[in-house]
Amino acid sequence: MAEQTPIASVLFVTLGCAKNEVDTDRMRALLLKAGFSEAADPEEADVAIVNTCSFLASATEESVEATLELAEGRAEGVRECPIVMCGCVPSRYGDELPEQLPEVAAFVRSEDEDGIVGVVADVLGVQADLAPVDFSGTLRTIDGASSFVKISEGCDRFCAFCAIPYIRGRYHSRPADQICAEVADLMEGGVREVVLIGQDTGIWGSDFEGDQTLAKLLRQVAEVVRPYDGWVRVLYLQPEGMTDELIATIRDVDEVLPYIDIPIQHCSERVLASMGRSGSTEQLRELFARLRREIPGMVLRTTGMCGFPGETDEEADELYDFIQEEEFDYTSVFAYSQEDGTKAARMEDQVDEDVKLERTQRLMDLVEQLGFSATAKHVGERARVIIDGAEEGEDGPELIGHAWFQAPDCDGAVHIAAGEVSVGDIVTVDLVDSFCYELVGEIVEEGEAE
């Protein structure tokens, strides 16, 4: 049978976090299933989909700039390529956008992305298969070794600085059977690590009837990945989500990596309360001490925010000292952004921009030192590494992978001299050197591994 000619080619541009990567992949799968093909660059595309981020004002600006760059390229002679803007920017500013961005042919809010086939068909004026899609299985096109899997959508926290609940809606968990079915399909397709994500993963299942918890979900997912010798990692846990059951699961289930990401934002009790969050320096210190005590070899990632309205010099120092004392393996640092529609944006005691940036840079300098040091401590270890790809290094071809203590796309990588291994393989490596957040490894030959 002759191969069917694609209806049209689609260029995908994704901005923002891993959750957007998952959403783009779902739209890609829907369009490919309906008979479209994927374009590698604008010159080959019949239509472009820009999946946008609007978590911060800077992210919104980046999304708009990327869209306008595509439109400008089209105007300068690139083949006709209408643009469809999807995701967080339409969800946040949808009613205002058609007038402000006439360059865009259609806008699709996050909650409407499953209808992307119909939108693209209308924009291009073509016929496409609009039959309902069975969503009980997976709709993914991942060809790498690691894959993000969303276990929830939205957020109920309404932190004073955050617009996510207004963009993505209220919190709702994804059913465990759907998650496990997707993980099984990904593993069968060659993925060896699944990274469970959501805006607040620790409360997964709290909106279901019965006793459904993240710990129970992790054990179910671990059963799925076990025959493939796979890994399970979970990100975006809030301090309150670290229950006894969850700590025991991370400690006792081999497939669940002892890697915990807890974005604290701050440690000052007054600042946290003003943010609409709970906790204090003492409570956080007790939590991290317990995690280190009960989960041997655990790796910790966190996030700190500088310059929240009303933050004093003393409170900024308190956060700095806390991060320094805790010596997190990885820390992301952000300057507070005054986001439209949030409670914090209306607060009167906004921190001067120069002061905010000075505090941010000071903390970034600290966490860089801590992170480089934490990475260097792995030199001399023997670790399992997932091979993510290959590239040309200074001394010739090299493999790029990440160890169990490195979350994909954010924590650095392990560089290995090219050998007889493939993307997706998990290999045993001796870590022999480090630079910044990167490590150099040598594959342990079969028979040498302990």
Binding-site residue positions for [4Fe-4S] cluster: 17, 53, 88, 155, 159, 162
**Neighbouring C-alpha atoms within 13 Å toward the C-beta of 98:** 6
Bridge partners of 334, per DSSP, are 305
Q: Which residues does the annotation place in the binding site?
A: 17, 53, 88, 155, 159, 162
- Is residue 85 within 8 Å of residue 106, measured between CB atoms? yes
* CA–CA distance, 265 with 271 (Å, rounded to integer): 9
**What are 441's two structure tokens?**
């490894």
Read off the DSSP letter of residue 265. B
Classify residue 198 by burial, with Cβ atoms within 10 Å: 0-12, 13-18, 19+: buried
**What are 87's two structure tokens?**
């995701």
Classify residue 126 by burial, with Cβ atoms within 10 Å: 0-12, 13-18, 19+: middle
* CA–CA distance, 23 with 107 (Å, rounded to integer): 15
Locate tokens 């000075």: which residue? Answer: 358
Q: Are strands 83-87 and 47-52 parallel, antiparallel or unpaired?
A: parallel
Nearest to 405 by CA among 299, 315, 326: 299
∠368-438-449 over CA atoms, to 5°? 135
* CA–CA distance, 11 with 229 (Å, rounded to integer): 34
* CA–CA distance, 223 with 336 (Å, rounded to integer): 41
Locate tokens 């981020």: which residue? Answer: 53
Rg (CA), the chain: 23
Classify residue 450 by burial, with Cβ atoms within 10 Å: 0-12, 13-18, 19+: exposed
- Is residue 335 within 8 Å of residue 350, measured between CB atoms? no
Residues 6+ apart with CB under 8 A from 117: 30, 31, 34, 36, 128, 129, 130
φ and ψ of 180, to 5 deg:
-65, -35
